[in-house]
Amino acid sequence: MKAVICAAGKGTRMGALTKDIPKPLLRLGEKVLLEYILDALAACGIFDVIVVVGFQGDRIQEYLGTRYKKNTLTYIYNDAYRKTDNLYSLWLARKHAADGMVFLNGDTIFDSALLRKILDEPAGDAVLVDAYREEGHPIIVHEKDGRVHEIGHTIGKDGHGIAPGIYKLSSETAPLYFREAEKYFKDGPLRGGFVIPIQSLARDVLFRTVYASGEQWCNVNTVDDYKKAHTIINDFYN
């Protein structure tokens, strides 16, 4: 199992905090955001990591190198990071993900128990869901019989929870996923999120919903999120 971390964006909603530094290198306590993610992956036995960089990507590569503790890091550069989102970054890593993967953003910190839950799910394709949390502009998940029925920022039915942003893709589904992504980019790079191909495939592919049960996580999208991350970081990394 490999992991793809999409860390190309500039983090404009963070204001002055990310004016001169890529958001994944923002410090939380003794480590930066990306180090917490890499430590969580390693704690779950995932050591082969692809990092898609863009804004000041050379600084990320210089900081982490090609080895971080037990992790082996491969870098891919998204030169269209100014006009794209995480789906395009993930699509750029498609050749590295043919055998299945977990994928997430480089600004999401989480209790490694959440990652373990999605890895332990027998289904090869899964989406992590939190039924109790709220956040601004969430990705909403509506399920039927334990599988994703609808997913997106705006869906036609009441949601059963929101997606923190950790996904698992099997080797069987990966080609289908990237084929859908390629359709989306037929006219060139543009903005769009991870869940666009999942929504397209959900009718025919079983994406199991895996629920959080109180474990901590935080998508660091705003200054307030960054402050919140400082308050919860000790709960699951110390």
Element (H, E) at 153: none
Could you tell me the pLDDT band of residue 67, with boundaries at 50, 70 and 90? very high
- Quick count: other Cβ atoms within 10 Å of Cβ 228? 16
Structural domain of 45: 2-237
Give pLDDT, residue 236. Answer: 61
Give pLDDT, residue 16. Answer: 87
CA distances from 154 to 138, 157, 162, 218 (A): 9, 9, 11, 21
Give pLDDT, residue 158. Answer: 75
* Single pTM value for the model: 0.95
pLDDT one-digit tens code per residue, 113-154:
999 999 999 999 999 999 988 787 789 999 999 999 999 998
Domain count for the chain, please give it. Answer: 1
Question: What distance in Å separates the CA atoms of residue 25 and residue 207, rounded to the nearest whole number?
Answer: 32
Give pLDDT, residue 23. Answer: 94
157: domain CATH number? 3.90.550.10
Residue 229 region by backbone torsions, left for phi larger than 0, else alpha for psi between -120 and 50, else beta: alpha
**φ, ψ at 112 (rounded to 5°):** -60, -20
